[in-house]
Structure 1
């Protein structure tokens, strides 16, 4: 193994030791002991590289190399430091250790940049401990609402506010931007899907992040005897559910890629073998890169669901609780990344992200782009999450070359 690859493996093992769990994964939740330990350890590592390191009010960590120009413009990289429960060794933290290694290699090869280069270890993205997501990136721009978290608790009844204070952090004092000097942001991340691996490609250049609409749907029919209630007299909610799923999936397939539609959860009552089900709750998740297509398709499905329920004399309640627009990446920065791949003979693919990332919060406010590396078998949020070290290195080299073009 080359020295560069060994360095990747070493720092990957190092950061994964913070929050390593008994099931072979990493569980590092917001404002936990392991979360605080890794943020402090990263601060020390940033400082050893010659960075000016600091925490903001809520616990985002910043490490900055001051450029040789006037120091007023900064190019940033990074990702989130928190994990899901029993997660893997790459989601989120690859963007931190990859950014660190890219900056380290730049300094070793070219010395200090003209513009500042900053790495950001974001406090939280996953929502794994408390029912709130993007706490880190939303606070950077002053768009996190105090009222949304001041009364929430984790699964053990620990209040969000108490956990935050225990770690020495507090609410942001105002809604000002914490990084007003940042002119571009590039996030390195694993794909969390299998497209790159299936196509044998090492780097994905992300053109945009999909929009998402998520639903909770309730059906109210009539529970009745499974043996004595004739089919024509039933108000069977599973029959309605089955028809909705079948017809909706067929419509989604006709629309084609990149539309995806998922019915991921179904709860039926009374949920027993000899009773016609009278109540059901199920979820629907729909994603697309084009807002117009996403809205048109989901609105058609909503009407289909109402019609299907009505035909079976079943009541329906549709709650669209998430409605996130697609977020395009900055074309100038994606061009920089694409040119970096070409210059370094790295095989790449222009693609979209089907999952959410901190970049979708940052992109509407700062020119942003993303770099993906393959996920073996497409596995993520799992101890088996992995990427070949050679592909990790190609991602880091692509990030390094992109930061060079933007900051040197």
Structure 2
């Protein structure tokens, strides 16, 4: 069967598991549809001759031993869970692409010199329980039992109970990180519109942007909208407007790859005839360079404090996420780029503004990522889509990269 047909059939079949009546897909960690999806992938792995296994928490592996260097493993894959009412490509495309690439290699070249392994990670999205990267963090032995021991989903169902219900448990405390992984390559939809806008087939990812996420409380004084003169007000919304426009103007002046977003704004009391006395707002700030990210964030905080002081407001700052940028391995990136050249693909070397399992794995194992275009940049949405020819091109480059890594001396 041609690769195009295989890919189309696998995406269609797997997308039926957890399909949402509204047109999207919902497959949350330790739900019945999540387990069914992992079992589906396990079945497809076995069909192509891979030896399968689950780890303690539900990561799925499919492996073929190398003929000459069996203790050196080339790994590829992604996550199997989704957001609520998400699309049919985020995560699972990377899983399907990995086992189809291995299938192509086995059919064309036979058994590899180094072991090839596909991973379908248990969870990345954080859509059901307040935890993220549960699959990859367990894979690199960085998961914390304490962080999830008491958490529950929005329906009050406990994480640990659901994990046990599906037949899984915490990893043993003496488990050590694997020392056989020579390279990890993850393929993913871009979830942005850069490749589409630039009419490119593939992105070779060399860095995952660092992120800082804040929640701010800007406090002024609520008062009567009709009887409080403009000059006597301590208007929190007015202060926020100055902050928002000022920080975004600074980000525009800084230029790419810096991005900053004020994504949530809640004025209080939020009614038509009261001067707002308080605003809760968030800021998401990302950059591929840690020094530049820290510098911009510090300057933004200082600017906010100046605005607050000028308008008689109080500012409370909560920096609740502070993740450094994660560079991909230069040698693996070079091999992926060479694979794109070998296939005569239109590509660019680029960074990822979104987080991925690779950012957890890359500090421990040489890693790289491949992006394929997202139509209109849409993701985490039932409208998420990529042209079939672009999905096929991605698998072809992944196949070529894995060949270079697993079959060459």
Give the TM interval when normalised to the shorter protein. over 0.9
1:14-63: CA deviations, max 9, x gaps? Answer: 11111001011110000000001111121122112111100000000000
Preserved CA contact (<8 Å) 2:69 2:115: no
Aligned to 1:294: 293
Q: How far, CA to CA, are the matches of 1:390 and 1:300 in structure 2?
A: 44
Range with bigger deviation, 380-389 or 41-50 = 41-50
> What is the RMSD of the two structures over their aligned residues, measured on CA atoms?
0.9
Q: How far, CA to CA, are the matches of 2:176 and 2:199 in structure 1?
A: 40
Shift in alpha-carbon separation, 1:289–1:115, aligned structure 2, 3 A: same
Preserved CA contact (<8 Å) 1:83 1:128: yes
Shift in alpha-carbon separation, 1:177–1:98, aligned structure 2, 3 A: farther
Q: SS state of the match for residue 74, structure 1?
A: strand
Range with bigger deviation, 282-291 or 342-351 = 342-351
Once the two structures are TM-superposed, the CA of residue 377 in structure 1 deviates from its matched residue by 0.3
Q: How far, CA to CA, are the matches of 1:242 and 1:24 in structure 2?
A: 37
Q: How far, CA to CA, are the matches of 1:407 and 1:171 in structure 2?
A: 32
Q: How far, CA to CA, are the matches of 2:404 and 2:260 in structure 1?
A: 39
1:353-383: CA deviations, max 9, x gaps? Answer: 0000000000000000000000000000001
Aligned to 2:380: 381
1:103-130: CA deviations, max 9, x gaps? Answer: 1100111111000000000000000000
Q: How far, CA to CA, are the matches of 1:352 and 1:177 in structure 2?
A: 31
**Alignment pair present for 1:325 and 2:291:** no
Q: SS state of the match for residue 77, structure 1?
A: strand
Q: How far, CA to CA, are the matches of 2:265 and 2:141 in structure 1?
A: 37
Aligned to 2:21: 22
Aligned ranges for residues 306-385 of structure 1 at < 5 Å?
Answer: 306-385=305-384
Aligned ranges for residues 233-244 of structure 1 at < 5 Å?
Answer: 233-244=232-243
1:325-349: CA deviations, max 9, x gaps? Answer: 0000000011001111111111110
Q: How far, CA to CA, are the matches of 2:94 and 2:382 in structure 1?
A: 18
Range with bigger deviation, 104-113 or 175-184 = 175-184
Once the two structures are TM-superposed, the CA of residue 179 in structure 1 deviates from its matched residue by 3.5
Aligned to 2:62: 63
Preserved CA contact (<8 Å) 2:148 2:160: yes
Q: SS state of the match for residue 208, structure 1?
A: strand
Once the two structures are TM-superposed, the CA of residue 71 in structure 1 deviates from its matched residue by 1.1
- Runs of 4+ with deviation above 4 angstroms: none
1:199-232: CA deviations, max 9, x gaps? Answer: 0000000010000000000011111000000111
Aligned to 1:278: 277
1:226-279: CA deviations, max 9, x gaps? Answer: 000011111110010000001111000000001001000001111000000011
Aligned to 1:109: 108
Q: How far, CA to CA, are the matches of 1:18 and 1:66 in structure 2?
A: 30
Q: SS state of the match for residue 359, structure 1?
A: helix
Q: How far, CA to CA, are the matches of 1:312 and 1:22 in structure 2?
A: 50
1:116-167: CA deviations, max 9, x gaps? Answer: 0000000000000001000000011221111111111101110000010000
Q: How far, CA to CA, are the matches of 2:89 and 2:349 in structure 1?
A: 21
Q: SS state of the match for residue 116, structure 1?
A: strand
Q: SS state of the match for residue 71, structure 2?
A: coil
Q: SS state of the match for residue 34, structure 2?
A: helix
Q: SS state of the match for residue 73, structure 1?
A: strand
Q: How far, CA to CA, are the matches of 1:175 and 1:272 in structure 2?
A: 56
Preserved CA contact (<8 Å) 2:204 2:348: yes
Q: How far, CA to CA, are the matches of 2:69 and 2:404 in structure 1?
A: 18
Q: How far, CA to CA, are the matches of 1:338 and 1:41 in structure 2?
A: 32
Q: How far, CA to CA, are the matches of 1:326 and 1:175 in structure 2?
A: 29
Q: SS state of the match for residue 365, structure 1?
A: coil
Aligned to 2:202: 203
Q: How far, CA to CA, are the matches of 1:175 and 1:231 in structure 2?
A: 65
Once the two structures are TM-superposed, the CA of residue 178 in structure 1 deviates from its matched residue by 5.1
Once the two structures are TM-superposed, the CA of residue 175 in structure 1 deviates from its matched residue by 5.5
Preserved CA contact (<8 Å) 1:142 1:175: no
Aligned to 1:31: 30
Q: How many corresponding residue pairs?
A: 407
5+ unaligned residues in a row in structure 2: which ranges? none
Aligned to 1:390: 389
